[in-house]
Structure 1
Amino acid sequence: MAFQTPRSVEEMLTAINKREYLMPAIQREFVWSTGQIVKLVDSLMRGYPVGSFLLWDVKPETAQSYTFYEFLTHFHERDNPYAEKATVLAGTGTTAVLDGQQRLTSLNIALYGSIAEKKKYAWWSSPDAFPVKKLYLNLVDDPKDEELGLKYDLRFLTDKEAAAEQDREDKWFRVGAILDLANPGPATIKELEQRRITNVGDASQRLWDLYEAVRVLKPMNYFLVTDQDPDKVLEVFVRVNSGGTTLSYSDLLLSMATNQWKELDAREEVRSLVRDLNSNAGRQFAFSKDVVLKTALTIAGVDVRFKVTNFTQANMAKVEAAWPEIEGALLRAATVLQQFGYSERNLTANSVIVPIAHYLHQRGAGDNYLDSSADASDRLVLQRWVTRSLIKRGVWGSGLDTTLTRIRDVLNANTTGCFPVSEVEAAMGAAGKSLSFDPAEIDELLNLKYAGQRTFPVLSVLYPGLDLSKKFHEDHIFPKSSFTRKRLAAAGIPAEKIDDCLETVNLLPNLQLLPGTVNIEKQATLPADWIGSETVFPIAVKRETYLHENDLDGLPLDLTDYLAFFKERKQRIRNRLIKALGATTTSELAED
């Protein structure tokens, strides 16, 4: 990697428009806002540094193995948001931009192109919803908004907005027109005269600043990578991009997969699937491209590690061929997790969906699996395994690829038609991911707090009879609003016990799961006002069943006996957890 002679903005953009510079598929889509573009041009006009760039000298033999994209010139949020694929002729190489794509695309749009973004409240289908705007420089006025920190009044305007009124100063100069200005001297004076601008001094200075920034100065410092090893180039790319918006290897490798797919667009397929997983059919998740790509590699039967050498033409052909099955399995797996009561808020490890999807694919499960009574017991086994793995710390952290590979091997060997939980857990244990819990871990769970990441999974494993496909809320049995020093004292709590009450109100023994509508109706009422309600429990049998199933036997109706209730319920929950999670020993679990 060698430092190259700096270039001017004009020289860099000329190379882009001659297709001499292209973007490798590892680059993400254009994401900068108009405000960012304006600040970049303002910085250049002020002579500020705009960072260095990293280019890759791609030799002909390497260029034919990958897909490249042209730089976006006319961005349209609906009709043209993505760069188009470029053609690299056989026997020729190219120069690929590894770092600086956003800045170079922004400058290309600013000088050569336009932006069309949807107007607020406009319909996407409306022909007038996306006005085409170009970047203009105000030759007469300074910026009105000082908080933006801009020296120059630069704005994206439609041609109509930039046009001067009849016989008035034509003050808006299209930034790209600076490339047509013959020189910064006489040509500038002539330009201002034609625009009927009276304050020639300030206007000519602004034009000169723009001319110098684009055509004279050479602020475009760049390094050139000559190595042709794709893994080394990928490592360089990730390192130099680590300071900006986080790039994952899946972002890069997904783009490289686009090189290999023949019928489908890998990038668009994955983007669409992520959107469906996270927000369709009432789901609320935050699955990433990483998870989708990892699942695809798992189901396709290739190495699950994110390495360039795994993204061969043969492997990507397997993924593309299996894509319909991958998509269906992931969507069903997301629905299964939704039925288990999980969402973005309480799903502590998104990677758990990978083996679920692979299991559903391996057994050929269709949509009927989601609600079939014949599969109810299998879904329960799967739910308990999922919940245990989410409760146990570190299962889906380091060593993920090894864990997923071992689970895949077990699932591939499974011929029972049911989820082989014992074999899966044995394989996980061999990889150092045991799902058994020791006494210290049980005690740690008893101190989980309201709205904690693992609180919902623990409550769900404590009370497996709940239909978690319905929306459930974590609820304080004794309402938190009652736990202020003033209210506790007024309720007759001794002063020396008030701190204990305040320290325990948000802990697991004072929590339960309630259906959303019931929880809203309950609000901040004490047990006396809620348990005794005939509206909530119209018959005594229903009330007694509820109290027993939720370890609320002997529930006091007011705050006076809260601490005794908390201690007793904590012990009952401890016993349930020992049974549900299979603690290795119970001898150390003495009562407090």
Structure 2
Amino acid sequence: MSFQTPRSIEDVLTAIHKRDYLMPAIQREFVWSSDQIVKLVDSLMRGYPVGSFLLWEVKPETAQSYTFYEFLTNYHERDNPYAAKATVPSGSGTVAVLDGQQRLTSLNIALYGSYAEKRKYAWWNSADAFPSKRLYLNLVDAPDDEELGTRYDLRFLSEREAAPSEGEADKWFRVGAVLDLADAGPAIMQELSRREIANTTDAFQRLYELFQAMRILKPMNYFLVTDQDADKVLEIFVRVNSGGTTLSYSDPLLSMATNQWRDLDAREEVRSLVSEINSNAGRQFSFSKDVVLKTALTIADVDVRFTVSNFTQENMEKVESAWHEIKGALLRAATLLQQFGYNERNLTANSVIVPVAYYLHRRGATDSYLDSSVDAADRLALQRWVTRSLVKRGIWGSGLDTLLLRIRDVISEEAKGGFPLNSVESAMAAAGKSLVFDEAEIDELLNLKYAGQRTFSVLSVLYPGLDLGKKFHEDHIFPKSRFTKKKLLSAGVDLEKIDDFIGAINLLPNLQLLAGTANIEKQDALPAEWINGAFANLEKRATYLSENDLDGLPLGLSDFALFFEQRKQRIRGRLLVALGQAETLEGVSTAAQG
């Protein structure tokens, strides 16, 4: 390993675009945030060291045995989060980046590309959820974000955001445009004059420092590894990548699988499957590679732990040979979770899909299992187990591998007779993961709030007759919009009760699951008014009231406190039966297995 002559950022990025530098398959995916990219460019402009880089000179005879990837230029969190596979011509070698690919990819995005991440609260499948932005430097103002700790105001902006409003200075300079400047003197002045900010304090200095950092200075210090022994190179890689952004557990597994699978490309297969289970067929999930690969190990019947000693060629062969079954089981499991009413917002533990997929695999379930009437009772048992495991705290946290192995052992022996609910729960209890709730836990659930992490799951336990495959909303029975101090006083509510009314409006006893269309139609109507209009048929009205624990309750605004307390007690009783007593679940298990 030898130290090489330092290079400028412009020189290194030029080499990347000439494909002189590539990434080996052992590299993880790009994981840096936009803030990390901003800080890196800010550090370079301030003349700070940004660490050394480690490159591997891959000889032609070695290059043909490995998979390489190009550097990502236009990052899109949903549509283009991964680098494309590179082609190394036969008889040619390459230079692979062992350490520094996050920094190099960040610089490539900053100067040549764009960054598109999901807007906060936007839906994953929304067309405008991922605005494409490029990195800009504010030539006029100092940064106003003290938390970021930067000297320069660098931001990822859309072209519209960077354009000056009428009467404002044209102050946003696209960082990549510095590569188009002919020099660091007259060309900068000409650019500032064009923007009519040539006399602005510090504008010339900021642009000059950007020019120097990207094109003149040589901060890119790197070492070159020439050893062609793959085991030694992998050891170096693991050691130098032990710091920085923590490696995902799936990264080394996926990297090694890429080189050990014989017929399939592991990285491409996993990427494709992650995308498919998350967003195809109307699904909206956020399952990771970790979850997919954990499921793969589970179904392949090998050790499920993410340890280096487990990434053997023998285990990878088992995973590859079972990949078709793994893929089918995961897709069916994702569809089931969708039918149970879950999505990326209310599925609080993605790991729950692992045993669901394994059960479907061991049962030999086909697509017909998802909607056949013959399997309805079995699906119900599986749904109730999934839901209760998500409601109970701590089930899918620590000790996950031990839990998965215990569940796998039970399902492996008993899956042919239906979902073995009692046996699974007994195995979980033996691992310290009991699904029985005590009364204190039940009382805690009664204080869950609107849109809380576990609120949907609890509501689905309370009212299991709903077809949650359709779009249901968490709905306030008494509309929140009516619960302001002014409106409550106008409605005749006593002043001393108002704080209690407002404090209770978002809590579980005032919530229900309501079909999307009905929820839109309901809007801010009081429950009595809406029920009378929505259910002209007395029988349907009575059914709705009974199923939602509303029958006989006062539904006028002034009686909200009485309504809340009475429904709270009804819900508590339901939860004690559904969650607090293990014997009440035996009937479900028996029906599913019989």
- How far off is 1:59 after superposition? 11
CA shift at 1:261, angstroms? 1.6
Query: What residue identity is the alignment partner of 1:82?
Result: A
Q: Closer, same or farther in 2 for the Cα pair 1:209/1:414, shift >3 Å?
A: same
Partner of 1:578: 576
Q: Match of 2:334?
A: 334
1:84 aligned partner:
86
Deviation, structure 1 residue 489 = 2.1
Q: Deviation at 1:358?
A: 0.7
Q: CA deviation at 1:492?
A: 2.4
- Report what 2:190 is aligned to: none
**In structure 2, what residue type is equivalent to 1:503?**
G
Deviation at 1:311, TM superposition (A): 2.0
Partner of 1:55: 54
1:566-588 per-residue CA deviation (whole Å, 9 max, x = no partner) reads 111111111111100134899xx
Maintained 8 Å contact 2:26/2:252: yes
* Separation (CA, whole Å) in 1 of partners of 2:424 and 2:534: 42
Q: Given residue 244 of structure 2, which amino acid in structure 1 is its aligned partner?
A: V
The verdict on how the C-alpha distance between 1:519 and 1:19 changes in structure 2, with shifts beyond 3 A counting, is: closer
Q: Where does residue 241 of structure 2 map in the other structure?
A: 237
SS in 1 for 2:6: coil
Q: How does 1:306-321 map to 2 (within 5 A)?
A: 306-321=306-321
C-alpha distance in 1 between matches for 2:419 and 2:391: 19
Distance (Å, rounded) in 2 between the aligned partners of 1:35 and 1:502: 39
Displacement of 1:473:
0.9
- Which residue of the partner structure matches residue 556 of structure 2? 558
Return 5+ residue gaps in structure 2 as ranges. Answer: 117-134, 144-150, 155-175, 187-204, 585-594
- The corresponding residue for 1:291 is 291
- Name the structure 2 match of 1:540: 538
Cα deviation, residue 216, structure 1: 7.4
Post-superposition offset of 1:25 = 1.7
Q: Aligned partners of 1:353, 1:175: CA distance in 2, in Å?
A: 48
**CA apart distance, 1:293:** 1.2
Does structure 1 retain, via aligned residues, the 8 Å contact 2:22–2:86?
Answer: no
TM-score by length of 2: 0.73
Amino acid at match of 1:576: R
**Does 2:102 match 1:98?**
no
Secondary structure of 1:268's counterpart equals: helix
Written as runs of structure 1 = structure 2, the 5 A alignment for 1:7-406 is: 7-9=6-8, 23-29=23-29, 48-49=47-48, 51-55=50-54, 67=66, 69=68, 71-72=70-71, 82-84=84-86, 97-104=97-104, 217-222=217-222, 228=232, 230=234, 233-234=237-238, 236-242=240-246, 247-406=247-406
SS of equivalent residue, structure 2 residue 514? strand
8 Å CA contact 1:40, 1:50 repeated in 2 = no
Gaps of 5+ in 1: 119-134, 136-141, 153-172, 190-204, 587-592
SS in 2 for 1:492: coil
Structure-1 residue corresponding to 2:479 = 479
3-state SS in 1 of match to 2:98: strand
Distance 1:69-1:536 versus aligned 2 partners, 3 A rule: same
Answer whether contact 1:471 1:515 (CA < 8 A) is retained.
Answer: yes
Counterpart residue type for residue 66 of structure 2: T
Query: Hey, what's the Cα distance between the residues in 1 that align with 2:46 and 2:510?
Result: 62
Distance 2:108 2:546 in 1: 69
CA contact under 8 A between 2:57 and 2:96: conserved in structure 1? yes
Q: Percent of aligned pairs with the same residue?
A: 63
What is aligned with 1:458?
Answer: 458
Deviations 1:151-204 (A, max 9, x none): 99xxxxxxxxxxxxxxxxxxxx998899xx9xx9xxx99xxxxxxxxxxxxxxx
Q: 1:569 aligns with which of 563, 567, 570?
A: 567
Q: Is the 8 A contact 1:439 1:584 kept in 2?
A: no
Q: Corresponding residue for 2:468?
A: 468
Q: In 1, Cα distance between the equivalents of 2:373 and 2:534?
A: 29
* Residue 552 of structure 1: how far off its partner (Å): 0.8
Computing the radius of gyration from Cα coordinates, the structure with the larger value is 1
Q: Secondary structure at the match of 2:243?
A: helix
Deviation at 1:308, TM superposition (A): 2.6
Distance of aligned partners of 1:231 and 1:412 in 2 relative to their CA distance in 1, 3 Å threshold: farther
> Does the CA contact (< 8 Å) of 1:438 and 1:584 recur in 2?
no
In the alignment, does 2:446 pair up with 1:446?
Answer: yes
Deviation at 1:491, TM superposition (A): 2.2
